[in-house]
């Protein structure tokens, strides 16, 4: 365990609430507890037991608040250091006064994420788990929360550890031959080295293949609603939101900028973007809106291409079909309550074609389910076991590791052992940067600075 100064912070959100918790971590935690907290029970603070009492200023004897206190002796605590928590009344003034009292005992105010950083530095969790703690707090949908909880429980770290173990096995053998250059790399050892590197590569590739789904679960899915004017895009947005957010009129060209709203459905959060109707226009504002809509197509996770099923296929519809090439799209035939006239010349590239009536609500639930099924971990026997990477930091490091392994495989035949060892070390370094073994202070600063104070 690292020896550091003692830190304190308010761990509950700012403002007034039922309870306000002041958390202290470090060598002085118990001293602080004994000096500012007077338990009604004799004997004071016992580790891992709540005590009821009062917080008093030892220099004046003034009673600041009634409180519950819990002291957790190292290493059985969140940070693996001695930890004290004072649970006071949740008024901001009470909490501020208790915090000031604690800070006057030789304790310093914690930086953002510093408790979790200490948990990481003291080896209780790895960096992937530390990041997942923040994801749990930030989760806005069921699926984001489940993914973060599995990551925080170590399900993802086990995979990274397996990659590390295979790489270390290969590296140990290569280095053994570097140490004894008179021995030739025998066939058996060569195949062991190759097999270990291959094992690592297989796990890396399977983790990389989960990124899209993981990111969708964590950040939500951006769903772009696109179509020519008056096909019912805004009506569809309102239906999906169950409210009248976008203006619906029979006048073409009413939505001129992008309207953005979030709904949570099927455990996923969907970021809906309603756009200006695509058509030829001389109106400057409208044509700017159309350019913005078209520019969003490649960035969207999914496009809902809305067509008016009661009208004949037009040049504008064709323009939209052309603009959608290479994007992930669902064709939405709206106005199914009217007689059908539309025939699309090419529907093969759509993930699905679905009929709805934004006016009556028919087909809307099916459409929502189709959207979600595209991003759910469908191939998993049990979606609750689904583990995915969801951060680009992890993805980038895995890609770097995979590149090193590719060079390694290409060089096995005729490269020197030194070069092979270099590739394996490069891959190990990348994996270590994910789990934290080789993460630099700058990376740690960046990660933990996005935490809240008190976590």
Q: Are 454 and 79 in contact (CB under 8 A)?
A: no
Closest approach of Cβ 361 to ligand GDP, in Å? 9
Q: Measured from the CB atom, is 256 or 404 closer to ligand GDP? A: 256
Q: Binding string, 142-161, against ligand GDP, x = CB under 6 A?
A: --------------------
Selected range binding ligand GDP among 41-49, 73-81, 233-241, 382-390, rule: CB under 6 A = 233-241
Note whether 357 binds ligand GDP by CB under 6 A.
yes
Selected range binding ligand GDP among 72-80, 208-216, 246-254, 284-292, rule: CB under 6 A = 246-254
Angle between helices 364-375 and 233-241 (to 10 degrees): 80
CA distance 444 to 210: 24
CA distance 221 to 304: 12
Selected range binding ligand GDP among 185-193, 318-326, 351-359, 401-409, rule: CB under 6 A = 351-359
Closest approach of Cβ 445 to ligand GDP, in Å? 46
Note whether 430 binds ligand GDP by CB under 6 A.
no
Sheet holding 259-265, edge to edge: 259-265, 268-274, 221-226, 302-308, 329-334, 352-355
- Cα-only R_g, the chain: 29
CA distance 430 to 435: 9
Q: Binding string, 267-306, against ligand GDP, x = CB under 6 A?
A: ----------x-----------------------------
Note whether 255 binds ligand GDP by CB under 6 A.
yes
347 contacts: CB under 8 Å, gap ≥ 6: 331, 353
Backbone angles phi, psi at 15, to 5 degrees: 100, -175
Q: Binding string, 179-218, against ligand GDP, x = CB under 6 A?
A: ----------------------------------------
Q: Measured from the CB atom, is 159 or 335 closer to ligand GDP? A: 335
Tell me how many residues contact ligand GDP (CB under 6 A). Answer: 21
Residue 306 pairs with which residues in a beta bridge?
332
Bond preceding residue 135 cis, omega within 30 of 0: no
Binding residue for ligand GDP, selected from 30, 116, 157, 235, defined by CB under 6 A: 235
The structure tokens listed for 240 are 């999906």
In 245-372, DSSP assigns E strands to 259-265, 268-274, 302-308, 329-334, 352-355
Closest approach of Cβ 282 to ligand GDP, in Å? 18
If 0-12 CB within 10 Å is exposed, 13-18 middle and 19+ buried, where does residue 275 land?
A: buried
- Interface positions, 59-98, toward ligand GDP (CB under 6 A): none
Closest approach of Cβ 291 to ligand GDP, in Å? 17
The structure tokens listed for 226 are 């696109």
Selected range binding ligand GDP among 78-86, 91-99, 353-361, 423-431, rule: CB under 6 A = 353-361
Q: Measured from the CB atom, is 33 or 227 closer to ligand GDP? A: 227
In 309-369, DSSP assigns E strands to 329-334, 352-355
- Contacting positions for ligand GDP (CB under 6 A): 227, 229-235, 248-250, 254-255, 277, 334-335, 337-338, 357-359
């Amino acid at each position: 365990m690292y020896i550091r100064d003692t830190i304190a912070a308010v761990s509950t959100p700012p403002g007034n609430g039922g309870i306000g918790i002041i958390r202290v971590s470090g060598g002085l935690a118990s001293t602080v507890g004994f000096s500012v907290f007077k338990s009604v029970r004799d004997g004071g603070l016992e580790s891992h037991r709540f005590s009821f009492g009062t917080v008093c200023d030892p220099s004046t004897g003034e009673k600041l608040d009634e409180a519950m206190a819990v002291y957790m002796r190292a290493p059985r605590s969140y940070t693996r250091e001695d930890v004290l928590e004072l649970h006071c009344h949740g008024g901001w003034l009470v909490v501020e006064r208790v915090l000031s009292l604690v800070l006057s005992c030789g304790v310093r105010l914690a930086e953002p994420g510093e408790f979790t950083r200490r948990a990481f530095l003291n080896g209780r969790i790895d960096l992937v788990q530390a990041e997942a703690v923040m994801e749990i707090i930030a989760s806005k949908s069921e699926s984001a929360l489940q993914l973060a909880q599995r990551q925080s429980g170590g399900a993802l770290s086990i995979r990274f550890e397996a990659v590390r173990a295979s790489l270390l096995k290969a590296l140990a053998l290569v280095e053994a031959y570097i140490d004894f250059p008179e021995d030739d790399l025998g066939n058996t050892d060569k195949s062991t080295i190759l097999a270990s590197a291959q094992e690592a590569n297989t796990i890396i590739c399977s983790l990389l293949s989960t990124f899209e789904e993981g990111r969708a679960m964590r950040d939500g899915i951006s769903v772009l609603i696109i179509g020519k004017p008056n096909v019912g895009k805004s009506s569809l947005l309102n239906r999906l939101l169950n409210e009248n957010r976008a203006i619906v009129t029979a006048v073409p060209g009413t939505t001129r900028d992008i309207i953005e709203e979030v709904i949570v459905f099927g455990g996923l959060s969907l970021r809906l973007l309603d756009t200006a109707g695509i058509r030829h226009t001389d109106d400057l504002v409208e044509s700017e809106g159309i350019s913005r809509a078209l520019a969003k197509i490649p960035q969207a996770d999914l496009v809902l291409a809305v067509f008016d099923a009661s009208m004949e296929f037009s040049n504008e519809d064709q323009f939209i079909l052309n603009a959608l090439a290479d994007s992930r799209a669902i064709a939405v035939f709206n106005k199914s309550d009217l007689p059908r006239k539309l025939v699309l010349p090419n529907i093969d590239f759509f993930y699905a074609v679905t009929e709805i009536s934004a006016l009556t609500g028919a087909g809307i639930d099916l459409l929502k389910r189709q959207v979600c099924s595209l991003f759910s971990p469908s191939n998993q026997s049990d979606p609750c076991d689904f583990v995915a990477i969801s951060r680009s930091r992890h993805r980038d490091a895995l890609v770097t590791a995979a590149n090193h392994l590719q060079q390694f495989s290409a060089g096995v035949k005729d490269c020197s052992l030194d070069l092979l060892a270099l590739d394996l070390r490069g891959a190990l370094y990348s994996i270590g940067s994910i789990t934290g073994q080789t993460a630099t202070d700058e990376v740690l600063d960046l990660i933990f600075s996005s935490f809240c104070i008190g976590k």
